[in-house]
């Protein structure tokens, strides 16, 4: 790697990286912080703090609310170390159960939770499944409307929460979400998902090579997360996936919820 002089771009890039990490540690320690507070605490110019927060947000490590002027770390940031997301009670309970069911179902399984307009993978069996085409998926942020996990979460979460999530997605205005934000599509998807007890993604709307089926993990009237089975579309028909996996997946979700409540 070519070296750059002290005043060159390489030095500036390293300095920006170190400042970004410093900001990330500071926000993580406080839980939430305003840019002005970060600037004063770390002695970094406020415009630089805003620029670095924007970069961290684009990378998925920070969520910044313009209305409250608060920055918070995301589950992706927590997943980098021995952090909250990885050591949470949900992950602790779910990990051995996912391993048990992965041995039966073979296709990879994910445990996801909702976080700031995305479903974030907290536990997965992709690394041990011989049929997986993905690796290093923990911390990966999945779209809500175009994944089975997001659809299951929306269909079964409380109505007030669902309204907030949909409003948030509308404000974000991702072009890929526009079709799925239409009221008629949303209503039909949620009605079908509730009637079946599981959500589907099998039309190539996200990761065209794969399809998935998801069920919610519910306790105390809330949806704690979702468990999903992912398969290669050319290797397995949806009807066969449903026939072999829907019931075991629902059983897995119920066992996770029961263990948490116990």
Q: What is the pLDDT of residues 155-211, one digit of tens each?
A: 999 999 999 999 999 999 999 999 999 989 999 999 999 999 999 999 989 989 999
| Pair 134, 118: CB distance under 8 Å | no
Mean predicted confidence (pLDDT) in 5-27: 78
Amino acid 79: pLDDT? 57
CATH class held by domain 9-73: mainly alpha
Whole-structure pTM value? 0.67
Is residue 61 helix, strand or coil?
Answer: coil
Is residue 117's pLDDT more than 80? yes
Is residue 64's pLDDT more than 80? no
Is residue 3's pLDDT more than 50? no
Amino acid 67: pLDDT? 56
The pLDDT-based confidence of 86 (bands split at 50, 70, 90) is very low
Spell out the residues 6+ positions from residue 88 whose beta carbon is closer than 8 angstroms to its own: 122
Handedness of CA 193, 196, 201, 203 (dihedral sign): negative
Query: Torsion angle, CA of 37/42/48/52, rounded to 10 degrees?
Result: -90
DSSP one-letter code for 204: S
Amino acid 83: pLDDT? 40
- Distance CA(148)–CA(193), nearest Å, equals 10
* Average pLDDT value for the chain: 86
- Distance CA(249)–CA(242), nearest Å, equals 10
The pLDDT-based confidence of 82 (bands split at 50, 70, 90) is very low
Spell out the residues 6+ positions from residue 17 whose beta carbon is closer than 8 angstroms to its own: none
Q: Where in the chain is the domain with CATH 3.30.450.40?
A: 84-261
| Pair 152, 199: CB distance under 8 Å | yes
Spell out the residues 6+ positions from residue 102 whose beta carbon is closer than 8 angstroms to its own: 108, 109, 125, 128, 129
Amino acid 194: pLDDT? 97
**Residue found under tokens 């919610």:** 216
Length of the chain as a residue count: 262
The pairing of strands 119-124 and 141-142 is antiparallel
- CATH for 84-261 is 3.30.450.40
Is residue 164 helix, strand or coil?
Answer: helix
Q: Where in the chain is the domain with CATH 1.10.10.10?
A: 9-73
């Amino acid at each position: 790697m070519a070296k750059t002089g002290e005043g060159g771009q390489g030095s500036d890039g390293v300095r920006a990286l170190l400042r970004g990490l410093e900001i990330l540690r500071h926000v993580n320690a406080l839980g939430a912080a305003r840019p002005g507070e970060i600037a004063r605490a770390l002695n970094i110019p406020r415009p630089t703090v805003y620029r670095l927060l924007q970069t961290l947000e684009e990378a998925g490590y920070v969520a910044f609310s313009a209305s409250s002027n608060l920055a918070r770390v995301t589950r992706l940031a927590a997943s980098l170390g021995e952090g909250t997301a990885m050591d949470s009670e949900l992950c602790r309970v779910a990990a051995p159960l996912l391993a048990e069911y992965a041995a039966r179902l073979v296709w990879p399984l994910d445990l996801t939770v909702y976080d700031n307009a995305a479903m974030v993978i907290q536990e997965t069996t992709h690394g041990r499944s011989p049929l997986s085409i993905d690796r290093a998926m923990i911390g990966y942020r999945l779209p809500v409307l175009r994944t089975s996990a997001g659809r299951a979460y929306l269909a079964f979460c409380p109505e007030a929460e669902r309204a907030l999530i949909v409003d948030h997605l509308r404000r974000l205005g991702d072009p890929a979400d526009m079709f799925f934000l239409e009221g008629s599509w949303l209503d039909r998807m949620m009605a079908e998902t509730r009637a079946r007890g599981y959500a589907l993604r099998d039309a190539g709307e996200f990761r065209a090579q794969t399809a998935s089926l998801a069920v919610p993990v519910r306790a105390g009237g809330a949806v704690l997360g979702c468990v999903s089975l992912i398969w290669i579309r050319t290797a397995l028909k949806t009807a066969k996936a449903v026939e072999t996996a829907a019931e075991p997946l629902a059983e897995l979700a119920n066992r996770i919820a029961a263990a948490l409540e116990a």
